[in-house]
Amino acid sequence: MTQFDLELKQITKIYPGGTLAVEAFDLQVEKGEFLSFVGPSGCGKTTTLRMIAGLEDITSGELYIRGVNNTHIKAEKRPTATIFQNYAIYPHMTVRQNIEFGLKIRNLSASEIRQKTGNMIDLLDLGSVADAREHSLSGGQKQRVALARGLITEPEILLLDEPLGALDANLRRAIQDELKLLQRQLNITFVFVTHAQSEALGMGDRIVVMNAGRVEQIGKSEDIYFNPQTPFVSRFIGKNLLFEGKISGANGGIASIETPHGVLKAGMAGAGKISKGQQGLLSVPSEYIQFGKSKASGVNAITGHVKQANFVLNTVIIYMTLANGDVVKIDTHVDKVKGQDLNPGTVLNCYWSDKQGRIMLNETNNSGGA
């Protein structure tokens, strides 16, 4: 039997006031995995992380770390360390004192503490500020001090709750890369919470998409991006074209959906629980969209007018008005639109293969309690 580094079995959290914050969360994480938790505000990311850390009681379910039941183990006895968004650096201590603090309360010898602290200062390139205090550190330095403090106790699992939230875009990008490198180097399991889709998809070996206390989908970033299993995931990614309609066929893994823009086809998502007549949603990643008219068979085609096109570096976001007035958003690489007139009002023909995109049941099927 495989032993997971971290395993959540039906973990549920109901706060004393009655809020159901996390419901029946199942998760298995392998040693050295970089796992991202992503989802909108209030979906239960922090609560889940705090339950793993032992900072929050688990209402029901079981938590295993390296095969050992940790459900009722106190936080300080768990092989985890947590880094919070605000870093929680002690302002009256120097960088070095902050980093060695976690070792001082562990009864190590003075020489061991000095050596481990020195290694950590080198690893995170904090030598030039080792004697500085928090107020004189930059955002990126504070971030690295917080990381050093988390890592010095040699946790088996490092839990990070939106650790980059306070950084500007460039620094954030740089530290994302550093973090990823460091994680590989140390081979420690990381659970990284963010509410930014691109950060979650870019950082995680696997991504857990959460919504309203529940797991919507767990997968590699390409699974989440190219193979969303639920309407929530399709919408949350923010780069998919979405078409609602009635399922008109479901056969051999391929479904068709009647939309105001004609019948469109794609592979089925959601474990094939789709049948004719139900309300469906087609989700197509923007980058599959081709411009012009295709003579090939097996393609979906739509026509509209350019409403607006915004260029941002090497990407372009095109808002296209369809015949019935619906507006779709296509977020794609500038190379894809070479030679295409994108002035407002221009007719725009688009097509994509029916192997690309996914059709799934829409939420509207559930609203009547059927």
Ligand X SMILES: Nc1ncnc2c1ncn2[C@@H]1O[C@H](COP(=O)(O)OP(=O)(O)OP(=O)(O)O)[C@@H](O)[C@H]1O
User: Is residue 11 a contact residue for ligand X (CB under 6 A)?
Assistant: no
Binding window for ligand X (CB under 6 A); candidates: 17-25, 227-235, 253-261, 332-340 = 17-25
User: Is residue 21 a contact residue for ligand X (CB under 6 A)?
Assistant: yes
Among 46, 117, 143, 176, binds ligand X (CB under 6 A): 46
User: Is residue 90 a contact residue for ligand X (CB under 6 A)?
Assistant: no
User: Is residue 86 a contact residue for ligand X (CB under 6 A)?
Assistant: no
Shortest Cβ 150–ligand X spacing (Å): 18
Among 8, 25, 38, 44, binds ligand X (CB under 6 A): 44
Neighbour order of strands in the sheet with 68-69: 20-29, 6-14, 60-65, 68-69
Shortest Cβ 303–Mg ion spacing (Å): 43
Site string for ligand X, 183-222 (x = CB under 6 A): ------------x---------------------------
Cβ pair 240, 228 in contact under 8 A: yes
User: Is residue 297 a contact residue for ligand X (CB under 6 A)?
Assistant: no
DSSP 273: -
User: Is residue 96 a contact residue for ligand X (CB under 6 A)?
Assistant: no
Residue 41 contact among Mg ion, ligand X, none, beta carbon within 5 to 8 Å by kind: ligand X
Q: What is the largest CA-CA distance in the chain?
A: 75
Under DSSP, is residue 215 helix (H, G, I), strand (E, B) or coil?
Answer: strand
Residue 339 contact among Mg ion, ligand X, none, beta carbon within 5 to 8 Å by kind: none
Q: Which residue has the tokens 């995680």?
A: 204
Nearer Cβ to ligand X, position 157 or 264?
157
Which residues of the chain form contacts with Mg ion (CB under 5 A)? 46
Distance of CA 119 to the CA centre of its chain: 31
Nearer Cβ to Mg ion, position 46 or 332?
46
CA atoms within 13 A on the CB side of 348: 29
User: Is residue 163 a contact residue for ligand X (CB under 6 A)?
Assistant: no
Nearer Cβ to Mg ion, position 40 or 292?
40
Cβ pair 269, 227 in contact under 8 A: yes
Shortest Cβ 85–ligand X spacing (Å): 8
Burial of 212 (0-12, 13-18, 19+ CB in 10 A): middle
Residue nearest to Mg ion (CB): 46
> Can you read off the two tokens belonging to residue 118?
């020195």
Rounded Cα distance between 311 and 221, Å, is: 25
Nearer Cβ to ligand X, position 43 or 175?
43
Cβ pair 143, 163 in contact under 8 A: yes
Query: In sequence order, which ranges of 215-368 are alpha helices (DSSP H)?
Result: 221-226, 231-237
Under DSSP, is residue 75 helix (H, G, I), strand (E, B) or coil?
Answer: helix
**Which residues in this chain contact ligand X in the complex, by CB under 6 A?**
15, 17, 19, 21, 39, 41-47, 195
